[in-house]
Amino acid sequence: MPRIGPDVLPPHSPAWIAQTWISFVLSMGGTALGIYAMPGDPWVKGFLAMGLVFTVGSAISLSKTLRDQHESERLTARIDDARVSKLIAEHDPLQTGV
């Protein structure tokens, strides 16, 4: 993916966003339809549907947590790089020791 600047990624394309939503809707719809159409007691179907909902919710929470953690590490690395750059810029190797 092309970069706009240092550690700045461009926003996702509309095609990628559409593909992501279509994939999500199809997978959820297919699984929900499979649970609905399967033979069995309603309480078993309800249990499977509840499991599907909790699985999707926890997957969303996990992806958000991982993204936030990655962005936090990137920010920390950028701050550390800025500190090192400042120290290097302030250092004069020709200056006599104090």
For 52-75, what is each residue's pLDDT tens digit? 999 999 999 999 999 888 887 777
For 78-94, what is each residue's pLDDT tens digit? 777 777 888 787 777 77
SS (H, E, C) the chain: CCCCECCECCCCCHHHHHHHHHHHHHHHHHHHHHHHHCCCCHHHHHHHHHHHHHHHHHHHHHHHHHHHHHHHHHHHHHHHHHHHHHHHHHCCCCCCCC
Which pLDDT does position 72 carry in this prediction?
Answer: 79
Q: Residue 50 pLDDT > 90, yes or no? A: yes
Q: Residue 48 pLDDT > 80, yes or no? A: yes
